[in-house]
Amino acid sequence: DIQMTQSPSTLSASVGDRVSITCRASQSISSWLAWYQQKPGKAPKLLIYKASTLEVGVPSRFSGSGSGTEFTLTISSLQPDDFATYYCQQYNRSSRTFGQGTKVEIK
Amino acid sequence: QVQLQESGPGLVKPSQTLSLTCTVTGGSIRSGDNYWTWIRQPPGKGPEWIGFIYHTGTTYYNPSLKSRVSISVDTSRNHFSLRLSSVTAADTAVYYCARGRHSYYFDYWGLGSLVTVSS
């Protein structure tokens, strides 16, 4: 099984900050990575797929990069609606695994 | 707009079988290259992929759950179902159904259904 490790687990930031979240895969997954945003009591929402492709309707302040084993989700200017937990998910081969999550909280 | 809705018991006794159904509206379960998926999320933890099914009945399961999981599809009713046998407290979670685009990532999700395993 491919393991996904996110860092940090918690990130404290202010509105307007540029923030980055890292996701590492235990083996190469090429660009087969998606990012999700989840708010309390809600289902995850797809933000990015294929490491860097923005899902339709997602604001352009979100961006993704990376390939192989290391990936980054960046929010260029944090907005009040962005305080949430973020998960990466790999889709290489026949299994699917998620990271343990990064909570972005208000500083 | 595709919508998914989970239904089923919220409480299951240990050693029994958990059963949930996901009804799809706003689109046919047979359309597109979509894989109909079950994902669960224990309280305070990240999501865990359980498995998915194509409208033809082809299934793929998480190896860690494979011996206890069965996913089926009813295209005439536009719904798919999950059965998880021999449950324990560790199976307590919010269970989501979702649409897997090309089986890769999940673009539409249900609201989630909390299932508690307890006597």
Distance CA B2, CA A93 (A): 27
Confidence (pLDDT) at A1: 86
Q: Report chain B residues touching chain A, CB-CB < 8 A.
A: 45-49, 60, 62-64, 96, 98, 101, 103-107, 109-112
Distance CA A12, CA A7 (A): 13
**pLDDT-based confidence at A7, cuts 50/70/90?**
very high
- pLDDT tens figures, A45-55: 999 999 999 99
**pLDDT-based confidence at A70, cuts 50/70/90?**
very high
Confidence (pLDDT) at A93: 79
- pLDDT tens figures, B20-37: 999 999 999 998 899 999
Query: Does the pLDDT of residue A69 top 90, yes or no?
Result: yes
Q: Return the residue of A nearest to B97 by Cα.
A: A43
Answer whether A101 sits within 8 Å of B64, measured CB to CB.
no
Q: Is A13 on the interface with B (CB under 8 A)?
A: no
Residues with Cβ within 8 Å of B67's Cβ and at least 6 positions away in sequence, in order, are none
Query: What is chain A's percent helix, strand, coil content, to nearest 5?
Result: 5, 50, 50
**Angle, CA B65 vertex, CA B61 and CA B66 arms, to 5°:** 50
Minimal Cα–Cα distance from A16 to chain B, Å? 27
- pLDDT tens figures, A53-64: 999 999 999 999
Distance CA B97, CA B3 (A): 10
Q: Residues of A with CB below 8 A from B101's CB?
A: 49
Minimal Cα–Cα distance from B96 to chain A, Å? 8
Distance CA A34, CA A21 (A): 13
Answer whether A100 sits within 8 Å of B96, measured CB to CB.
no
B88's tokens: 């324990």
How many Cβ pairs within 8 Å bridge chains A and B? Answer: 48
Q: Return the residue of B nearest to A42 by Cα.
A: B111
Q: Is A17 on the interface with B (CB under 8 A)?
A: no
